[in-house]
Amino acid sequence: MLEVILSLVALVVAGWAIAKNYDAKVVLFATGLVLLFAALALGHPVLAEKASSGLAWVDPFKVVKDLFVKQYSNAGLIILTLFGFAAYMSHIGANDKVIEVLSRPLAAVRSPYVLVPLVFWIGTILSIIIPSASSLAVILMATLYPVLRAAKMSPMTAAGVIATTATIVPTPLGGDNVVAARVLGFEHVVDYVFYHHAPITIPAIVVMGIVHYFWQKYMDKRDAGRQTAEIDESKLATKAADAPAYYAIFPILPLILTIFFWAAFKSVKVGLVEITIFSFALAFVTEMIRKRDAKATLKDANLFFRGMGDGFSRVVVLIVAASTMVAGLSSIGVIDMISHSLSDVENAGTGLMFAFSGITALITFISGSGNAVFYSFIELIPQIAEKAGVDPIMVALPMQCTSNLIRAASPVAAVTIIVAATVKANPLEVVKRTSVPLLSGFVAVLVFSLVRYA
């Protein structure tokens, strides 16, 4: 009983701190270490005898070290290379070229409301290449916003659509998909994305685009004559890309090669790391040939490694921090208690799905960040689901989607604040435009997951 009380107090304090925008990584590390030391104090070992350091009070720190090693050998290295590649693609102008190529046909569409779902769907595709919701929003405001305004789209409609572009795209290059696939036991991330993620999220994305059309049309009619938002050029820190048009192939090359090897050479063990490094090398050689300046090109290549460092600090450390908290909960015995209590419950899968998705939605809305919540809970799912006798995907997939969907419905999310500042509007006005389409996606994901997995 004491273990349960300590765990609940630790989780409540951690949730409160994350909701108050304390650094999620530090909060999760601190919570995990407190729980690990509490487990030791209550007579629970935190490591198996063979893995122990020999000093009980050192074992909690060894748990953290072992988790870093585990992440580097699994999803961590994939995430680092993907972040490094994205940073290099952004620097050489390849990302801008992809956006230019994909958005060019939109200039021919003159109906502002026909553009609404099209921009949302194209922006969703672009989030494969630019994984940061706030970065993608800044680029789209600089490149697409003038096109949308020329088509007579209202500033708030444009802001609402652009703020929701980076949500639940089914891509094997997504860090959350890489982690989910590993935790759920998939050998290849494409298997998870193709057979489970895409069948749920693609219909939900279609639903969101349609709801966007009707919601933005309704809001424009309601707000007719009251809209004063306009672009703030000072918020658009972008530069025109001088890269040739064929550079647009480089950012999507890892995706193409990943799907190609998965479909055509299943027996060949070619992973995302090898594919991403090859794509980086090809882009690097092309840059060197085009610029004919070896020194400058080599200097630019260093951005790949800086991007890897960004991926480490933003994602890998967060995953390890969340895993540390899970290790603390496991050591103190709470996970086993929850699992045993659910073993004989009828429809436990449905209850777990709603519970984890609901908690994720609440914390994401309050904090404006879904990643910390998702990475904290995903490690718990397989253990609890196995003991409860339910499919872990039924619980994990809706929770993963929720963490991405509810983010842009929060007035304190970075993407909401950036878009609001760019169009000189209150973040709550942007949330009015994003909330209904995003909530429709949230409901659609839950319904489709129930239909498929219940």
Long-range contacts of 432-435 (CB under 8 A, 24+ apart): 432/160, 432/219, 433/156, 433/157, 433/159, 433/160, 433/161, 433/163, 433/215, 433/216, 433/219, 434/160, 434/163, 434/164, 434/408, 434/409, 435/409
Q: How many CB atoms lie within 10 A of CB 242?
A: 10
Answer yes or no: is pLDDT of 370 > 80: no
Could you tell me the two tokens for 219?
């809001």
CA–CA dist 192, 196 (Å, integer) = 5
pLDDT (tens digit per residue) in 415-452: 888 888 888 888 888 899 999 999 999 999 999 999 98
403, 360 Cβ separation under 8 angstroms: yes
80, 312 Cβ separation under 8 angstroms: yes
In this structure, is the dihedral angle defined by the CA atoms of residues 109, 102, 414 and 369, taken in order, positive or negative?
Answer: positive
pLDDT (tens digit per residue) in 403-416: 889 888 888 888 88
CA–CA dist 20, 131 (Å, integer) = 24
Residue-level pLDDT at 154: 86
Displacement of CA 151 from its chain's centroid (Å): 31
Cβ contacts of 355 within 8 Å, gap of 6 or more = none
Q: Record the pTM.
A: 0.80
Residue-level pLDDT at 144: 79
Please tell me whether residue 391 adopts helix, strand or coil conformation. coil
Q: Which of 403, 407, 361, 406 is nearest to 378 (CA)?
A: 403
Displacement of CA 381 from its chain's centroid (Å): 18
**Amino acid symbol at 85:** F
pLDDT (tens digit per residue) in 194-218: 999 999 999 999 999 999 999 998 9
Residue-level pLDDT at 67: 84
Residue-level pLDDT at 43: 83
Q: How many CB atoms lie within 10 A of CB 88?
A: 26
Percent over 90 (pLDDT), the chain: 14
Q: Which residue has the tokens 């995706």?
A: 255
CA–CA dist 192, 291 (Å, integer) = 40
Asked which of 131-135, 185-189, 239-243, 359-363 is least confident by mean pLDDT, the reply is 239-243
Residue-level pLDDT at 362: 83
List C-alpha distances in Å: 24 to 37, 42, 337, 442, 450: 20, 27, 26, 24, 31
Could you tell me the two tokens for 69?
């090693």
Residue-level pLDDT at 74: 66
Cβ contacts of 21 within 8 Å, gap of 6 or more = 367, 368, 412
The answer for 221, left when phi > 0, alpha when psi is -120 to 50, beta otherwise, is alpha
- The residue-averaged pLDDT of 83-108 equals 82
Cβ contacts of 344 within 8 Å, gap of 6 or more = none
DSSP 244: -
Q: How many CB atoms lie within 10 A of CB 113?
A: 16
Cβ contacts of 341 within 8 Å, gap of 6 or more = none
CA–CA dist 263, 373 (Å, integer) = 33
Asked which of 77-86, 89-98, 345-354 is least confident by mean pLDDT, the reply is 345-354
CA–CA dist 15, 31 (Å, integer) = 10
Q: What is the DSSP string of 258-316?
A: HHHHHHH-TTS---HHHHHHHHHHHHHHHHHHHH--HHHHHHHHHHHHHHHHHHIIIII
Q: How many CB atoms lie within 10 A of CB 5?
A: 9
**Which of the listed ranges 42-51, 149-158, 277-286, 315-324 does the model predict with the highest average pLDDT?**
277-286
- Taking 3-state DSSP, the helix, strand and coil percentages for the chain, each rounded to the nearest 5, stand at 75, 0, 25
CA–CA dist 59, 53 (Å, integer) = 6
Percent over 70 (pLDDT), the chain: 92
User: If pLDDT is split at 50, 70 and 90, which confidence band does 345 have?
Assistant: low
Residue-level pLDDT at 373: 77
Domain ranges of the chain: 1-453
Answer yes or no: is pLDDT of 92 > 80: yes
CA–CA dist 251, 272 (Å, integer) = 14
Cβ contacts of 264 within 8 Å, gap of 6 or more = none
First-to-last C-alpha distance (Å) of the chain = 32
- The residue-averaged pLDDT of 103-113 equals 78
